[in-house]
Structure 1
Amino acid sequence: MPEYILSEELKEAVQVAEITMRPLLLKGEPGTGKTLLASHVAESKNLPFFRWHVKSTSLAKEGLYFYDAVSRLNDSRFPDQASMERVRNVKNYIQLGALGEAYSLPNKSVVLIDEIDKADIEFPNDLLLELDKMEFFISETKELVSAKVRPMIIITSNNEKELPDAFLRRCIFHYIEFPRKETMREIVLAHFPRIQTELMEKALAMFYTIRKIDSLRKKPSTSELLDWIQILLHTGETLDSSKIPFAGTLFKSEEDYRVHLN
């Protein structure tokens, strides 16, 4: 797996979150590495990693645990002894979510709450108590799950919704700026260490020229640059003209594609 390139500012934000033991809230345009940071931190520190990808229909409780009542009902239809013994113990139908798994471990772990702004506006507020006290109650089993060690929690947001002030007060905030060309050069070399310098410099120059076009609906991100370079290397394209080869890798809308053609 290619090395994750951290800026000094991002290193500092991670350090502050670790010292204060508060969740680290990351914002920044797509492709700036918000989601990958959590797995990088977990891997570099050899810690268990749990990911909770939030959707528009997600509920805060799902990150803690889920009671599978449907499976219990289905099992109760079978009269054999093994099935009935399983049905009697409700714990067999409790599945821990990402936060629940992390809280139940005896050691430190890393939890990613990815794209928290996709959920309902009340979603972050519904997690305040659980994030503060690092514990939650399973009503079906009357069990209190308390974290012995506070996990490192990294939360990402694409700024689709404003997050509540009460939630923001409990987080360490960091905005990841889009990588400068010097940093992007390091990222490209981490993924393609054998790339020729001339091709890399031409690709970077063309990429940042495209990003300066004000009329673009969606500026190409780091992931699209890496995909584009992979195609260039595979096909042997040399970028010897102003034409942008394989433009569909960089432009993601009809309007942007027309800007390119014109």
Structure 2
Amino acid sequence: MKFEGTEAYVATDDLTMAVNAAVTLERPLLVKGEPGTGKTELARQVAQALGTDMIEWSIKSTTKAQQGLYEYDAVSRLRDSQLGDERVNDVRNYIRRGKLWEAFTADRRVVLLIDEVDKADIEFPNDLLQELDRMEFYVYETGETIRATHRPIVIITSNNEKELPDAFLRRCFFHYIRFPEPEVLRRIVEVHHPGIKPQLLTEALTQFYEIREQPGLKKKPSTSEVLDWLKLLLAEDLDPADLKRDGADALPKLHGALLKNEQDVHLFERLAFMARRQQGR
């Protein structure tokens, strides 16, 4: 079965090609792109489109690769032995399965999402090379090898916070989600806000792209942020005329949904201040 997007997710041709190529090659799909461009949601929609489950492993700065395989709780076993608990006779009672173990032993093929891999230590991707390549790992405490019953579809996301090792990249099929063109973004908006007035959408998207292209902007607003902004505009029942800006009022309406740090807010405030000074001459 081929992935072609879903009713809730607008996938471009190159993105669907990347997903299907990774599935065919049985390689992890490494997806990069700006935060908020739908990388995590892609895994959910692939699982939905293929009629299977998704197992999500959210990576943090403290996450170790071993946690994705399993963890041995030696402290609990020691405590139970001191209490005379019979559970200590079977080490399996103290093995906590990780997300890879869950995906490998699922009763059907699942989508395994390794989310924001670049948050972890630089060695994290390399530590998973063999397990993702061979689809198996060894449990030293029990002496057993866990092999994938059904090879999962692995989707790995990265926000490009740090470079990933070449050895890891060689084993992945790579795709960069570019920020959508206006026509694609219109289709995305229609999915989330069906029936939005064309004039309001045109004015809102015009302003949105102007903000993204403003020189000196520290954080460009993303797809998720424009969807939030439009939701607020609809809730306030604003019309296109309400969104009109002039030089003296450079900040967009409800700008807190788009501008997420004080540096960018100050940038637009300075633009407004300079515009007012020019008008006063």
- Same fold (TM > 0.5): yes
- 1:70 maps to what in 2? 75
Instruction: Determine which of 19, 24, 30 is the counterpart of 1:14.
Output: 19
- 2:275 maps to what in 1? none
Instruction: Determine which of 39, 51, 60 is the counterpart of 1:55.
Output: 60
- 2:104 maps to what in 1? 103
Matched, 1:166 2:174: no
Matched, 1:40 2:45: yes
Aligned partner letter, 2:109: K
For residues 82-135 of structure 1, give each alpha carbon's deviation from its aligned partner in whole angstroms, at most 9, with x where no partner exists.
xx2323222122221111101112321110111111111111111111011100
Would you say how many aligned residue pairs link Structure 1 and Structure 2?
Answer: 258
Identical residues among aligned pairs (%)? 52
- 2:267 maps to what in 1? 259
- 2:29 maps to what in 1? 24
Look at both structures and tell me which one has the larger radius of gyration over its CA atoms: 2
Of stretches 215-224 and 238-247 in structure 1, the one that deviates more from structure 2 is: 238-247
User: Any stretches of 5+ residues in structure 1 without a counterpart?
Assistant: none
Tell me how far 1:75 sits from its aligned partner: 3.5
- 2:155 maps to what in 1? 154
For residues 15-37 of structure 1, give each alpha carbon's deviation from its aligned partner in whole angstroms, at most 9, with x where no partner exists.
11011000001111111111111
CA RMSD of superposed structures (Å) = 1.5
CA contact (8 A) 1:115 1:158 kept: yes
Tell me how far 1:239 sits from its aligned partner: 4.0
Equivalent-residue separation in structure 1 for 2:195 and 2:86 (angstroms): 60
Which aligned pairs between 1:1-262 and structure 2 lie closer than 5 A?
3-79=8-84, 84-240=85-241, 241-242=244-245, 243=249, 244-261=252-269, 262=271
Aligned partner letter, 1:134: M
User: Any stretches of 5+ residues in structure 2 without a counterpart?
Assistant: 1-5, 272-281
Aligned partner letter, 1:89: D
CA contact (8 A) 2:59 2:115 kept: yes
CA contact (8 A) 2:108 2:150 kept: yes
CA contact (8 A) 1:121 1:163 kept: yes
For residues 20-63 of structure 1, give each alpha carbon's deviation from its aligned partner in whole angstroms, at most 9, with x where no partner exists.
00000111111111111111101111112111111111111111
Larger RCO (alpha carbons 8 Å, 6+ apart): 1
Equivalent-residue separation in structure 1 for 2:58 and 2:144 (angstroms): 25
Tell me how far 1:253 sits from its aligned partner: 1.1
Q: What TM-score does the superposition give when structure 2 sets the normalisation length?
A: 0.88
CA contact (8 A) 2:125 2:168 kept: yes
Q: What TM-score does the superposition give when structure 1 sets the normalisation length?
A: 0.94
